[in-house]
């Protein structure tokens, strides 16, 4: 395994992070524990979860993923061996109304942290992230920003950081981070922390893959110049970048078969780009999964690559990507596809 540090901290994390959002829905508790055991044996020490998980979100399963991690931590008694990141839901919506409808207002952050600590059966969370912005903006595959003057959101960056600071001082979280954030929001948080001596956002967890390289715009520059690390999620594009949907080998419990509403990576352009990437991988004696993950692993702005799997075999292949280094020739071929079909998933 290879390791990095969360920017401006002494927290050492594996370059591969174990994503968990299928546990409690597509995966059982026993399977979650099996994945955790295997990942830890391979040197993976970083685990990502959220109060909303598993996905798709529902009142019946909410928090189950973190409960599975918590039961594993209790059984193995190894909390000091792992770094745990979790998230609080952002802007209220019908999708998460069963969790709360108050966003980050009032006591929401304090209550969310306490509830997550109980599920995880731990006293602290290493990195606590805002799952998506409270304001109305273009997240989750929405290509362009269109300003809505009727959006009732008010600028509360300072208030949110003060509440996070309370949790840090109470010893309940160590550091804070963002998720699904844009360049403006990221810089506003950094500005508030610098101007008012408040906690600094250390990481940003956004989608990044061969099919969605939009992070390489303004946010990559922010990562490099401001030292805020990307925790790349969906590096396999919901499994599309395994090639299994093109080859017709997807199992019945594959994500897009179970949940076709997650169609962000299923457009004609995504399919065509994936076919071209598959050919590059096969011509260079790699699986598409290995090439896709190695591409993310090699980016200088990536602190950790969040991989997820519904089977142990998938997990083994995904973790093994850390041993794959893409040559300049392969990167040139990848960029040639990107030049013709740029960011088809957005």
Q: Kind of pairing, strands 125-130 and 173-179?
A: parallel
Please tell me what DSSP assigns to residue 209.
B
Q: Using CA atoms, how far apart are residues 76 and 214, in angstroms rounded to an integer?
A: 39
Please tell me what DSSP assigns to residue 248.
T
Residues designated as active site: 53
Q: Using CA atoms, how far apart are residues 281 and 292, in angstroms rounded to an integer?
A: 9
Q: Using CA atoms, how far apart are residues 316 and 13, in angstroms rounded to an integer?
A: 19
Q: Using CA atoms, how far apart are residues 222 and 257, in angstroms rounded to an integer?
A: 36
Q: Using CA atoms, how far apart are residues 346 and 214, in angstroms rounded to an integer?
A: 8
CA-atom Rg of the chain in angstroms: 19
Q: Which residues contact 73 (CB under 8 A, 6 or more apart)?
A: 79, 82, 120, 121, 122
């Amino acid at each position: 395994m290879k390791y990095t540090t969360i920017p401006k901290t002494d927290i050492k994390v594996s370059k591969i992070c174990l994503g968990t959002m299928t546990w409690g829905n597509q995966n059982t508790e026993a399977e979650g524990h099996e994945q955790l055991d295997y990942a830890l044996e391979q040197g993976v020490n970083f685990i990502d979860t959220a109060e909303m998980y598993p996905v798709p979100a529902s009142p019946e399963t909410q928090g189950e993923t973190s409960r599975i991690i918590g039961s594993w931590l209790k059984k193995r008694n190894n909390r000091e061996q792992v770094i745990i990141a979790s998230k609080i839901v952002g802007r209220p919506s019908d999708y998460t109304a069963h969790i709360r409808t108050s966003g980050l207002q009032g006591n929401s952050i304090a209550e969310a942290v306490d509830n997550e600590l109980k599920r995880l059966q731990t006293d602290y969370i290493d990195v606590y992230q805002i799952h998506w912005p409270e304001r109305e903006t273009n997240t989750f595959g929405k290509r362009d920003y269109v300003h809505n003057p009727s959006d009732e959101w008010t600028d509360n960056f300072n208030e949110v950081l003060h509440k996070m600071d309370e949790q840090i001082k109470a010893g309940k979280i160590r550091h804070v981070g963002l998720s699904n954030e844009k360049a403006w929001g990221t810089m506003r948080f950094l500005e508030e922390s610098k101007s008012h001596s408040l906690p600094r956002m250390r990481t940003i967890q956004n989608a990044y893959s061969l099919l969605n390289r939009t992070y390489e715009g303004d946010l990559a520059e922010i990562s490099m110049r401001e030292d805020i690390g990307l925790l790349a999620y969906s590096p396999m594009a919901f499994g599309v970048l395994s090639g299994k949907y093109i080859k017709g080998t997807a199992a019945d419990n594959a994500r897009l078969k179970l949940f076709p509403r997650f169609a962000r990576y299923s457009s004609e352009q995504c399919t065509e780009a994936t076919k071209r990437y598959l050919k590059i991988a096969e011509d260079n004696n790699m699986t598409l999964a290995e090439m896709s993950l190695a591409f993310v692993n090699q980016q200088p702005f990536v602190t950790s690559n969040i991989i997820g799997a519904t089977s142990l075999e998938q997990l083994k292949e995904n973790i093994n990507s850390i041993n794959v280094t893409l040559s300049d020739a392969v990167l040139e071929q990848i960029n040639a596809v990107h030049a013709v079909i740029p960011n088809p998933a957005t």
